[in-house]
Amino acid sequence: MTKTYDPPLTVDGHSPLYRVDKAIKLAQQRVDAAIDAKRHHTNQNLAQEVIKEARDALRKTEKLRALRILEVAAASK
């Protein structure tokens, strides 16, 4: 369920997008963990709520990344 990004997620610690990209990776891991938890636990309502919160966090970090890309582009002009 990994999404591809343009530009790709960076692993360079000196990149201006590094912190945002790291947050996206962590949010993706949380979503995957929540989906795995839903498969293995009986409380489906709680698991579904955790998945929803994890996906919301992922959306927020993706929006933050888009804003950061625009800031970096504006600063380089």
**pLDDT tens-digit readout, 37-66:** 888 876 788 888 888 999 999 999 999 999
Return the sign of the alpha-carbon dihedral for residues 33, 28, 59, 14: positive
Query: pTM for this one?
Result: 0.81
**What's the pLDDT score for residue 42?**
64
The whole-chain average pLDDT of the chain stands at 88
**Where exactly are the structural domains of the chain?**
18-76
Measure Cα distances from 54 to 2, 26, 51, 67, 75 in Å. 14, 10, 5, 20, 31
CA distance 38 to 42: 8
Structure-block tokens of residue 47: 């698991």
**What's the pLDDT score for residue 66?**
93
| Better-predicted residue by pLDDT, 22 or 38 | 22
**What's the pLDDT score for residue 43?**
79
Q: Is the pLDDT of residue 1 over 70?
A: no
